[in-house]
Amino acid sequence: SQQGEEDPQALSIQEGENATMNCSYKTSINNLQWYRQNSGRGLVHLILIRSNEREKHSGRLRVTLDTSKKSSSLLITASRAADTASYFCATDAKGSQGNLIFGKGTKLSVKP
Amino acid sequence: NAGVTQTPKFQVLKTGQSMTLQCAQDMNHNSMYWYRQDPGMGLRLIYYSASEGTTDKGEVPNGYNVSRLNKREFSLRLESAAPSQTSVYFCASSVGSGSYNSPLHFGNGTRLTVT
């Protein structure tokens, strides 16, 4: 069963614009992680935010977490064509023995 | 610095055939995982190994078996392949026991087609 659900399913923007993807989940979590997957490749870890954190930055990435709404957002600023990929949130639910549950992903297309 | 290596990259099987997917990591990670990825379904956990010598079922274990051969290697076996097992299979590893506060490192996947 899916714990995290990303929104939108697909997003198309121009280079230089910001991209925002959202993730909602159902149960209490220990942490939430975001991953990127380029076509035909494995997933690459981007950022991890713990349940007691509200915001985290890494380069052009900004992640927020609202545990009261059970939601997270990933913002990519000043997007580049190389950011074209699918983005997944994954939650480490309390009581899950630490196993990550992945959402279905947001497919981001950044046009030059 | 290879990270997580999966073999083979591609495989076509006939229904009823068996095969083993191999995975090895060189990062001295304790935990290893097998996921499958299907269109529109995201990634689903098949089996995992929290540490050498232990294995546990994930969300979709039916039709699969695993072996944690040593700390580096974690294999996935399909005893009698079915068309429903057509998928992309990803192996991953992480430092900690389970994935608590520990990012996963993924291989590049094995694309399996069962006809």
Interface residue A24 vs chain B (CB under 8 A): no
* pLDDT at B6 exceeding the cut of 70: yes
pLDDT digits (tens, 9 = 90+) for A44-67: 999 999 999 999 999 999 999 999
SS3 B83: helix
Report CB contact under 8 Å: B45, A99.
Answer: yes
- DSSP characters over A30-99: EEEEEEEE-TTS-EEEEEEEETT--EEEETTEEEEEETTTTEEEEEE-S--GGG-EEEEEEEEETTTTT-
* pLDDT at A99 exceeding the cut of 60: yes
Give the residue from A110, A2, A85, A73 showing the smallest Cα distance to B38: A2
* pLDDT at A107 exceeding the cut of 80: yes
pLDDT digits (tens, 9 = 90+) for A76-96: 999 999 999 999 999 987 666
How many inter-chain contacts (A to B, CB under 8 Å) are there? Answer: 69
SS3 B59: coil
What is the chain A residue with the closest CA to B47?
A: A99
Q: How near does any CA of chain A get to the CA of B28, in Å?
A: 18
* pLDDT at B51 exceeding the cut of 90: no
d(CA B42, CA A108) in angstroms, rounded, equals 15
Q: What is the pLDDT of residue B1?
A: 64
Q: Of B4, B99, B107, which is closest to A98 when you measure between CB atoms? A: B99
What contacts A96, CB < 8 A, 6 or more positions away? Answer: none
* pLDDT at B98 exceeding the cut of 60: no
Q: Of A33, A88, A98, which is closest to B42 when you measure between CB atoms? A: A88
